[in-house]
Amino acid sequence: MSENIDREGERLNTIIGQGTVIKGECSVNGTVRVDGIIDGSLTASGVAILGKSGQVKGDMAIGNAIVGGRVDGSVIATGRLELQTGARVEGDITAKKLVVEEGVFFQGYCNMERKEEKKAAKAAAAAQQQAAPEKHSEAPEKGKPVKVEEAGGDEGDQEITFRGERI
């Protein structure tokens, strides 16, 4: 196990061995090691360790994860996600911390936005909206054109707004 993975849920309480195939949703309260195949989703409250021969053909929702095998689906880690050499992930990744070793194949989108940053951005947008006067109060009629406003910074950063609200 990687030394940098949080100690919470460290006790390994489920092993899915090589040659084992599980079809459907697999939910583990704690830590799981997968060297076999899960044909469905995997949910673990602790650490999910996907060995070199391990495969998940579905989405993963875990606390922390070490992936050395193959994932065909989205990976949502509330903590740290480590992709080891030889790992293959075909799906979107959401993680607070991400480590990618050389030799990893990844096809998808990666989102590392933290909840605190999202809350701060929403608060700033709300404060900006309160400072600006309300331009429109009714919804646009179906089929009528809608004006889209653009505002940006000096360096080409652009923010698209609709009726003064960020979209």
Q: What angle do CA 79, 80, 82 make, to 5 degrees?
A: 155
- Mean pLDDT for back-to-back runs of 10 residues, the chain (167 residues): 48 90 92 95 94 96 95 94 96 94 94 69 68 55 58 53 66
Global confidence as pTM: 0.64
Q: Where are the domains of the chain?
A: 12-111, 116-166
Query: pLDDT at position 113, please?
Result: 72
Q: How far is CA 27 from CA 41, 42, 127, in A?
A: 8, 6, 41
How is residue 32 written in tokens? 């799981």
Give the position of tokens 């909840």. 115
**Cβ–Cβ < 8 Å for 47, 62:** yes
Q: Which pLDDT value is given to residue 156?
A: 52
47 pairs with which residues across the strands? 64
Tell me the C-alpha distance between 94 and 104, whole Å.
17
- What is residue 12's predicted lDDT score, i.e. its pLDDT? 84
